[in-house]
Amino acid sequence: MRRVVAILAIGIAPVLSAAMMGCGGSSSPDTNQQVRNAAEVQGLKGNPTLKQPALTTSQQEIIQLRVELGRNLFFDHAMSGVQHTSCGTCHHAAFQFSDARNIARGTFCDLNATATQITCHDAPTPGQDGNVVGPDRKSPLNSRNSPLLINNALFPGLMWNGRFRFVDESGTDVNKLDASLGFQFPAPEKRLNVRSLLTGQAHIPVTEAVEMTGDFPHTGQPFEDPDERNPEVRLGIANRISDLAGYRPLFEEAYAPGTQIFPGDPQVRAGDDIPYLAIADAAGHFMETLVFTDAPWDHFLKGDDHAISAAAKRGALTFLTTGKCSTCHAGDLFSDFDNYNIGVPQVGPGTAQSDLSDPAYRGLRTWDFGLEEINASSNDRFKFRTPPLRGVALSSPYMHNGAYTTLEDAIRHHADPEAAYANYNITQIEPDMQAADGLKPMGPVFDRRNPVVLGRGAGQQRIDLTEAQIADLVEFLKSLTDPLMKDTASLAPKTVPSGLPVDVAGPRRFPVYD
């Protein structure tokens, strides 16, 4: 059950041999050992996996039914309030479950300046733009970049602002790869626990106005307290799915009484309404199969000297030692899942936040305060979660707002944020992002940036990297790509039970690194 392809059997090629995976690196034995020693010091073992309970054959068959059901739901526009979008609109299989854009594009709806009211428009005629995802989609900007969903089943925390995390009963963060922990919703939601982090996350996009909800079910009305509104939206979606003849037998089989595997598993009896928990659980099961952690780097750690190139080995040494990259990009997932302000240029529409009392913010309402939005602490302003790096070579553009479109520029930013800002070329991002108040003044951001959290000395403002070292780092990052990640497009179904059109991926605009 390591991969969705094994469950769905939909034609992705088998794992490539180690000889095919790497570039035949010809480094000396000393270099190989230096890299492995550096990795061992930091506890890197390779091939991270999720702790799962042992399942019987019949239970595995039930899980397979839920995965296939979740795959259909994930790509079905019936899951959105105004039926303009699906989960796959912003996380399309052709783009490794992202959307290959600086900022996500969801419903054909607009928020007002204070994010209190929404106006929706008719979607373009199918075949023009409405079912196209990627750079050719013309719907309004959301607030942040769509991160990859690859390997999210292994993450203890989700979202750019760290909103979703595993916590124990006391509310304390638990940073473990253990699906048995379940997931506790953050405020203001009232549901305390669901089976997994991804089942919990699947409750949220359908309630987000510009992602999937639109003006459903309260056309043009001011938003209500999410504590009351969100369950009503989910109920509306669940009722719609219940009324679709194509879905009912799938739920009645996958969630029939007597098929409970995990505590709290939903049930769907014949003729019963389908609860939203069953919808989210199926979507969660599908997303949990998107695990791709058999990269050339993992083969190198297991002893294959030729799995990665000499340049990638040099890059690994820089990453793990002098470059201090692993201070934050730690562990086998290459993230500590903590939140930092690393001085990312503030471009794009932001999240309707500002400090109107401070002239440094120039009265703009297009700032993104990051973690502060969740915990209301100004000490956490402009902090965002450290992104995991497996598959990063296929996930451009980069940062919470897609500010950088190449790995080289993203690395240069980490090394010297001030210089990167001074040389920032706003034309690299999409035109409507440039128009969203342009490149904002960075004084407020830099004032809150602490170089110490990046592993630097108290007075050190940059890490000196040569262009050769940057090139080597890119080669190392490329070695973190599982080859099967390059062929995820086939995971999108051609049709879905609702009969609505399935999104079609347009061409990429930004480079990826094969």
pLDDT per position as a tens digit, 71-83: 999 999 999 988 8
Helices 57-74 and 276-288, axial angle in degrees (round to 10): 100
Q: Is the predicted pLDDT of residue 17 greater than 50, yes or no? A: no
Q: Alpha carbon of 201 to those of 91, 197, 208, 261, 486: distances in Å?
A: 14, 6, 12, 20, 25
Q: Is the predicted pLDDT of residue 452 greater than 60, yes or no? A: no
Secondary element (H or E) of residue 118: strand 118-120
Q: Residue 498 domain-assigned?
A: no
Condensed to tens digits (0 to 9), the pLDDT of residues 103-146 reads: 888 777 666 655 556 666 665 544 445 577 877 777 777 889 99
- Give me the pLDDT at residue 375, please: 84
Q: Over range 450-465, report the average pLDDT.
A: 64
Given pLDDT bands bounded at 50, 70 and 90, which one contains residue 351? confident
- Give me the pLDDT at residue 362, please: 83
109, 140 Cβ separation under 8 angstroms: yes
Q: Over range 85-111, report the average pLDDT.
A: 87
Q: Residue 9 domain-assigned?
A: no
What does the block give as tokens for 470? Answer: 């940057």
What does the block give as tokens for 381? Answer: 């302003």
3-state secondary structure of 473: helix
Q: Over range 482-495, report the average pLDDT.
A: 96
Is the domain of 284 the same as that of 309? no
Q: Residue 142 domain-assigned?
A: yes
Condensed to tens digits (0 to 9), the pLDDT of residues 277-312 reads: 999 999 999 999 999 999 999 999 999 999 999 999
Is the domain of 204 the same as that of 166? yes
Is the domain of 115 the same as that of 254? yes
Is the domain of 182 the same as that of 269? yes
151, 480 Cβ separation under 8 angstroms: no
pLDDT higher for 137 or 239? 239
What does the block give as tokens for 79? Answer: 């899951």
Q: Is the predicted pLDDT of residue 243 greater than 60, yes or no? A: yes
Show which of 233, 267, 290 is a domain's final residue.
290
pTM: 0.88
Q: Residue 20 domain-assigned?
A: no
Say whether the peptide bond before residue 135 is cis (omega within 30 degrees of 0).
no
Is the domain of 254 the same as that of 324? no
3-state secondary structure of 183: strand
Cα–Cα distance, 258 to 421 (Å, whole number): 59
Q: Over range 499-508, report the average pLDDT.
A: 91
pLDDT higher for 151 or 13? 151
- Give me the pLDDT at residue 3, please: 44
Is the domain of 274 the same as that of 137? yes
Least confident of 36-45, 182-191, 427-436, 465-474: 182-191
Instruction: Provide the 8-state DSSP code for 46.
Output: S
Q: Residue 47 domain-assigned?
A: no
- Give me the pLDDT at residue 81, please: 85
Q: Residue 512 domain-assigned?
A: no
Is the domain of 180 the same as that of 250? yes
Is the domain of 261 the same as that of 324? no
- Give me the pLDDT at residue 184, please: 57
Which domain range does residue 167 map to? 57-290
- Give me the pLDDT at residue 280, please: 96
Show which of 242, 257, 290 is a domain's final residue.
290
Q: Is the predicted pLDDT of residue 479 greater than 80, yes or no? A: yes
Q: Residue 443 domain-assigned?
A: yes
Average pLDDT for the chain: 84
What does the block give as tokens for 155? Answer: 């993450």
344-377 as b/e, with b when 16 or more CB fall inside 10 Å? bbbbbbbbbbbeeeeeebeebbbbbbbbbbbeee
pLDDT higher for 221 or 503? 503
Strand 504-505 relative to strand 132-133, pairing: parallel
- Give me the pLDDT at residue 321, please: 96
Q: Over range 253-262, report the average pLDDT.
A: 96
Is the domain of 271 the same as that of 310? no
- Give me the pLDDT at residue 174, please: 57
Strand 183-184 relative to strand 193-194, pairing: antiparallel
Q: Alpha carbon of 373 to those of 162, 339, 376: distances in Å?
A: 10, 13, 6
Q: Number of folded domains in the chain?
A: 2
282, 289 Cβ separation under 8 angstroms: no
- Give me the pLDDT at residue 21, please: 44
Condensed to tens digits (0 to 9), the pLDDT of residues 356-405 reads: 788 888 888 888 999 988 888 889 999 999 999 999 999 999 999 999 99
Is the domain of 311 the same as that of 267? no
Q: Residue 261 domain-assigned?
A: yes
Is the domain of 63 the same as that of 156? yes
Instruction: Provide the 8-state DSSP code for 398.
Output: B
- Give me the pLDDT at residue 69, please: 99
- Give me the pLDDT at residue 409, please: 97
- Give me the pLDDT at residue 301, please: 98
For the chain, give the percent of residues with pLDDT over 90: 54
Which CATH number does the domain housing residue 445 bear? 1.10.760.10
Q: Over range 262-273, report the average pLDDT.
A: 93
Highest mean pLDDT among 102-106, 260-264, 266-270, 349-353: 266-270
Is the domain of 438 the same as that of 414? yes
One-letter identity of residue 233: V
pLDDT higher for 250 or 212? 250
3-state secondary structure of 236: helix
